[in-house]
Structure 1
């Protein structure tokens, strides 16, 4: 990325944070700030009406809008907002693995994520090998034929360690493994994982994305296929983000470049 692109990037991020990916479809008189759609259910009478809208499904207008805005900020095809950062992490792991699969993860992880990998996923037949990110060959040596995910955290929470993810991304592409990254402490204006070849981005939106310490939320950004899988899993487990919290998260994103 050139110096000029670096200088211009905060302005682009600020614009996307306010307006989303594009202004297509807006009409004169439409609100600049979307209203809160505080409804659990929606009128739907026949199949021709389209997909069933139900706020537990994550397709309430507020949920969809903020999910797609986060995807735009992260430079990915799609995104979904969920009820917490750990909900986002758990839904990714559960959506992309099954019994008998294997995960390789950094030793430098948020404590609850580590507990999920060590204590909960083994109950579902999913094993994890931890690798010190400072050991370059450790990632390759930890891989198994059944490895489905390599998971890292950048910057780490709470120690703010950072390492170059590009060699790991290259290895993941070589082996056909999905590389996931919890980028909560990076925030897309400082670090966009997709620019380094990372496939799936996870956020605890409670922190920098919301910025006001008044909500709990999570987000996942990635390809449409991955987000479809995460969405299907979240509809089973139910960690949907409340529409009001989704609206507050969108509000936070609109203002996070102003500090």
Structure 2
């Protein structure tokens, strides 16, 4: 059972006057935060405020690039070539990187969002293109991918990959996450159960079958209305089990 893990959350997903998520309460509860960069959600002011919250909460910062689909919140399928997916991630990373630099901070990681994340799961060429792009453009920046065969192969090739599992999403028998277009509240204790199962290296699919996971970081979604309660439940469970939370770069570096 793992005794050190990163807990990350997707946040910064408001847009203008439209508010989504309780970032002020959620961001200090996690060790890494993935901040939306304007394509699926977020805007310059929201991005800046999210960086400030992370700075004040001592939370590591990463970019959360999505597809250019504000209406669908980046969760609707779109056809992108591997090169286009990599360029989309670089473009959005650059925007958040500039805002972080304005606040005297740097970005530690990048994690694709929604359907763009789904492309990295379904198409190994997309995942490879994204990882290779950041290895060239931003050496040392970690790329977060779903824990599984694709991320393992890239890690074995020496790329700075972080393997991710999920506390608040279901898995299918293939080990893929089931993305919810409109996340509803979930029982915090059930999410804490799944987070603890990740530490043991095995979760259950929706069909009840075992799914092996070897993760450096566990995600929860800030757009779920009870995300704060889920984060608190996970932290409480980990504290009781003697599990230490650490930023994903520290956890991933310890594997090398």
For the criterion TM > 0.5, the same-fold answer is no
The structure with higher relative contact order (CA 8 Å, sep 6+) is: 1
Which one has the largest radius of gyration? 1
TM, length-normalised to structure 1: 0.34
TM, length-normalised to structure 2: 0.34
